[in-house]
Structure 1
Amino acid sequence: MVSMIANCMHGESHKAWMRATNKICKRKGLYRLPQISTDSLTDVLCQHLQYALHFGSIDSLDDVLKECFLDLGLFPADKKICADALLDIWVYVRKLPRHNASAILPELARRNLLDLTSNARESTTNQYGNASEVYFSQHDGTRDLALYFGHHDNILHRKRLVIERKDFCSLEKWELLRDTAFETQILSILTGPMDENDWYDMNFPETEALFLFFSSTEYFLPQFLKSMKKLKFLMIYNCGSNKAIVKGLDVLSSLTQLKSVRLERLILPFVEKQGIEELQNIEKLSLSLCEGFENISTFTKVQDFNLDHSNDSDLPFGICNMPSTLSCSITNCHQLQILPYDFGNMINLKMLRLSALPRLEQLPVSIGKLVRLEYLDISLCEGLKELPKEIGQLKKLRELDMRECTRLMALPSTVCELSSLKLVTCDETIGKQWLRAKNISILGLRVEFVEARFSLDWLDD
């Protein structure tokens, strides 16, 4: 335990060590974790030791880091959550630059305040790193601490408000508050199945970020979303093992300030899509394990689009009609066989990920129109047989990841025209052809050979 505390406080000043030591040495009654219900002396001592461990680490955080740590209480414990959701709070609500927000994740992990796992490849540079490949989780004790430190204010004045399923049993409490405006900036609701009549009439005019966590096969969105005129970030996350049908999406049409939407394990009925299609100002759209999202043609302002683990055989209609898109990630879509011919209409793309699409046999020739593209990932596209000669038109391409493209045995001669290319990651067979291209015209190219790596980490919740 001493070594763990030392690890949390590593690098801190002598004053910080003394302050933490003094507080840890206080009588346990002063700094007791809330809601200790066990009669086991061993369990009680372990909880106090855990609290002492983290208290030293939390107390040494600066104001920004402490606010970011308290945000962890918004998420369920022992659940792998895409780190992108956490970063979006810090970017859209905390107003942090994204590169600063990204640096906070490893810092909190270093202090044992969260756990990070990543599917990102080691060769990928930070410049083209993708937070959708990084996941965080937290233990229930750590989450309890975040809730404890962040919930001292009256429920109406809390900047963060977490409402769990058991809270909805207090009918009298919510009825008394139905005509009162909450000052909540970030709201997180964790429930089971919710019908339209299960929600209370509540008012959240100041809320900028909303998390809806639930576990069921059907879920009705609360009507009080209409009061969230300042909402910038929305996450609807089904924690169950089966996808859930979501109803009541029409309430989203009033959220004109919404910038980022993240949906996971959902089925969106066709008749309910109108509410989503009216969200004209969305800058970031992330869909994971979702079905039925047929048309995204109205999302003309989307700059960052992510589609992961879709079972649909086709991409959503209108994906090529998003001219503002700078980053597009389509991954783990095992039924996808073809990309639209007009894929090249996304002319402002700088980063494109087409990873783990095993049935994809070819890239559209229009890919040559992506003249601003700097990063291309076609890794684990096992069915890909060839690259179109138009790939030579990508004059700004700097990095190409094509590992485990096992059926791709030859390169078009036009790859010698990729004068800006700095790094190619591939297997040894195709790598020899890249070395020849390097000797011919791409003098600054580095070719990195990698062995096949099989992983089922994405199955782990």
Structure 2
Amino acid sequence: LDDVWSGSESLIQNFMFRISGYKILVTSRFVFPRFGSTYKLKLLNDEDAMTLFRKSAFLQDGSSYVRDDLVNEIVKGCRGFPLALTVVGRSLCGQPEVAWISTLKQWSEGQSIFDSNSDLLIRLQTSLDALDERVKECYLDLASFPEDERIPATALIDMWVELYNLDEDGVHALANLHELSTRNLVNLVFARNDAREVDGYYNEHFVMQHDLLRELAIHQSSHKPAEQRKRLIMDIRGNHLPKWSSEQIQRPIHARLLSISTDETFSSSWYNMQLPEVEVLILNFRARNYTLPKFMEKMDQLKALIIINYDFCPAELSNFPLLGSLSSLKRIRLEHVSISSLSKSTLKLRNLHKISLVMCEIGDAFRNLTAQIPDMLPNLVEIDIDCCNDLVEFPVGLCDIVHLKKLSITNCHELDALPEGFGKLASLEVLRLQNCTKLSDLPESIGSLHKLSFLDISDCLSMSKMPIRMGELCGLRKLNMRGCWGLSELPPSAKDLGQLKDVICDEETSYLWEPYMVHLSNLKINVLKEDINLNWLPNLHF
């Protein structure tokens, strides 16, 4: 059955018979999990791509009247996508060599492959038309990130919470991504198999999108003049800013989402654009030093700021205090940047709810502060610190954010201790310390965290003991301690964890709970098998 569409499950069902050795082969743009295993076709390699292209572009004997270098460049531009190879090949079949040169020239000047191949656009458009309107908007937003780069699901959640009022736990966002995946518009990548479990932690979820599908999203978002688009995507090479950016100095742009991508040759020279309605700003760059655009100061509606550096080394951010002028800012995500000391800063982010720091240098950021952190961040409820390997000790000043509800410190391999003042985080509900391999114990004051419902210490390889006051965690319902092979016993107070329902651990440590099962009648022990892969590694460019 070829080209079966979503909603046609009954058609497949009609062909199912109980006959020995009987098989049904279904080809589709969609996934049908009800009918057994799914095989996702990969993009064509160079040899197969050339073979398919020649069948469409040349006569039956495959003979070419066009120079090989032109053929190679056209095939390369189709990026291994079978439909593009077929459609572009047919459009050039029988055309003079100058038509081939013209096509390549259009592509090199930034024109979309869809501008010269309406048939390709029409055939891919059907996949978008089948989407729910909200899911389609989410798909178009994916073009805000550079091609060939993994997109963190957590960044998308931050965007979509503010743009579409989705839930902050990310459940609806992940459902949208799964919907796009079943329609083969994106690929979901998980750093580990148990990352599929829904517990509100999505740092190990990533999205990959084929270059051609990203180009389709950009094409769909670019029909209107720049000042009228709801999302504005700027891919800048060198210092070649789009012409409209200088023309819009006096006229406001009404986009809600703005994405700017620059390379290592960009000199950080900006026009003073007016962007009064932007709610989400994404800055993608590759540089050792980066200056925040001055025009950000007037973005009064900005709610989510995502800054990602794709260079091999962390980037020094200049003009960082500028963020203090963004009165509506609720979410900040910084990836692969260096934050120097804030000791002399008067930065105040009064409405900031969440800050995410990924692969950042933050070891000196909170030292010798003269201002009180609660005064700087009076409404902060969530901190996410991931892969920050210069974090040796948790900043004592952060313990004063008594209204903090979620704290994740994951994959920080140099962190070896938490301060005794940690117990002041009385509002904390979720604490993740996953894969902090040097962390040997937890402070006794953690027993004061009576609202804590979920504790994750998985893969803390050096963890040798649990705090004596562990039993005072009267709200604890779930504990993930897989990979804590250094634990040899639990404190006697563990019997007082009356609300504990779920413990995730390894077979080697599951026995530790046996003496307490008589006291914890509702407790379920989940023993997981080890899963290791390298999907968590970032795509660094050398």
User: For the residues of structure 2 that align with 1:377 and 1:220, how far apart are their CA atoms?
Assistant: 37
Is 1:156 the counterpart of 2:235 in the alignment?
no
Determine the structure 1 residue equivalent to 2:183.
111
Under a length normalisation based on structure 2, what TM-score does the superposition of the two structures give?
0.75
The equivalent of 1:14 in structure 2 is none
The 10-residue stretch of structure 1 (145-154 or 229-238) with the greater mean CA deviation from structure 2: 145-154
Name the counterpart of 1:8.
Answer: 29
Partner of 1:83: 153
Q: Alignment partner for residue 136 of structure 1, among 201, 207, 226? A: 207
Task: State the distance in 2 between where 1:170 and 1:124 align.
Answer: 41
Q: Which residue of 2 aligns with 1:184?
A: 255
Residues 1:203 and 1:220: Cα distance change in structure 2 (over 3 Å): same
In the aligned structure 2, how far is the partner of 1:173 from the partner of 1:340?
52
From 241, 258, 282, the equivalent of 2:352 is 282
Provide the secondary structure at the position in 2 that maps to 1:236. strand
| Displacement after TM superposition at 1:419 (Å) | 1.2
Q: 2:159 matched to 1:122?
A: no
1:94 to 149, 164, 185: 164
Cα RMSD (Å) of the superposition?
2.8
SS in 2 for 1:325: coil
> Are the counterparts in 2 of residues 194 and 218 from structure 1 also a CA contact under 8 Å?
no
Deviations 1:226-285 (A, max 9, x none): 11010000011001111111101122111010000000000123369736x311211011
SS at match of 1:280: coil
- 112-121 or 406-415, larger mean C-alpha shift: 112-121
Consecutive unaligned residues of structure 1, counting only runs of 5 or more, are 12-27, 29-35
Decide which moves more: 48-57 or 202-211: 48-57
Task: Assess if the C-alpha contact under 8 Å between 1:226 and 1:255 holds in 2.
Answer: yes
Quick check: 1:9–1:56 contact (8 Å CA) kept in 2? Answer: no
Q: Contact 2:190 / 2:196 at 8 angstroms: preserved in 1? A: no
Q: Deviations over 1:184-205 (max 9, x none)?
A: 1100000024777611211101
1:213 to 284, 292, 299: 284
Equivalent position to 2:143, from 68, 73, 90: 73
- The structure-2 alpha-carbon separation of the partners of 1:179 and 1:272, relative to structure 1 and needing over 3 Å to count, comes to farther
Provide the C-alpha distance between the structure 2 equivalents of 1:253 and 1:200, rounded to a whole number of angstroms.
21
Residue 389 of structure 1 contacts residue 413 of structure 1 at CA under 8 Å; is this kept in 2?
yes
Give the fraction of aligned pairs with identical amino acids, expressed as a percent: 32
Asked if the contact 1:359–1:383 (Cα under 8 Å) also holds between the matched residues in 2, the reply is yes
Match of 1:457? 535
Q: Given the alignment, which residue of 298, 302, 306 partners 1:235?
A: 306
1:266 and 1:291 in contact (8 A); partners too: yes
Matching of residues 298-447 of structure 1 within 5 Å? 298-311=376-389, 312-438=391-517, 440-447=518-525
Deviations 1:202-237 (A, max 9, x none): 110110000000001111111000110100000110
Q: Report the Cα distance in structure 1 between the residues aligned to 2:173 and 2:268, rounded to whole angstroms.
A: 38
Whether the 8 Å contact between 2:349 and 2:377 is mirrored in structure 1 is yes
Q: Distance in 2 between matches of 1:260 and 1:138?
A: 24
Corresponding position of 1:262: 333
Partner in structure 2 of residue 201 of structure 1: 272
Gaps of 5+ in 2: 6-26, 33-55, 57-70, 88-119, 367-372
- Separation of aligned partners in 2, 1:197 and 1:419: 57
Say which SS state the counterpart of residue 436 (structure 1) adopts.
helix
Structure 2 counterpart of 1:208, which letter?
Answer: E
Q: Decide whether aligned partners of structure 1 residues 258 and 433 sit closer, same or farther in structure 2, where only a CA change above 3 A counts.
A: same
* CA deviation after TM superposition for structure 1 residue 175, in Å: 2.8
Amino acid at match of 1:334: H
Equivalent residues of 1:194, 1:219 under 8 A apart: no
Equivalent residues of 1:215, 1:238 under 8 A apart: yes
Say which SS state the counterpart of residue 135 (structure 1) adopts: strand
8 Å CA contact 2:448, 2:472 repeated in 1: yes
Q: Structure 1 counterpart of 2:423, which letter?
A: G
Aligned partners of 1:240 and 1:221: how far apart in 2? 16
Q: Is the 8 A contact 2:237 2:263 kept in 1?
A: no
Q: Measure the CA separation in 2 of the matches of 1:172 and 1:71.
A: 23
Which segment drifts farther, 447-456 or 421-430? Answer: 447-456
1 CA distance for matches of 2:265 and 2:30? 43
Amino acid in structure 2 at the alignment position of 1:46:
L
Contact 2:231 2:256 in 1 (8 A): yes
Shift of 1:40: 4.8
Change (3 A) 1:379 1:111: same
Superposition deviation, residue 454 in structure 1: 3.8
Instruction: Indicate the structure (1 or 2) with the bigger Cα radius of gyration.
Output: 2
Higher mean alpha-carbon deviation, 152-161 vs 55-64, is at 55-64
Deviations 1:314-344 (CA, angstroms, capped at 9, x unpaired): 2234221222221111011111111011111
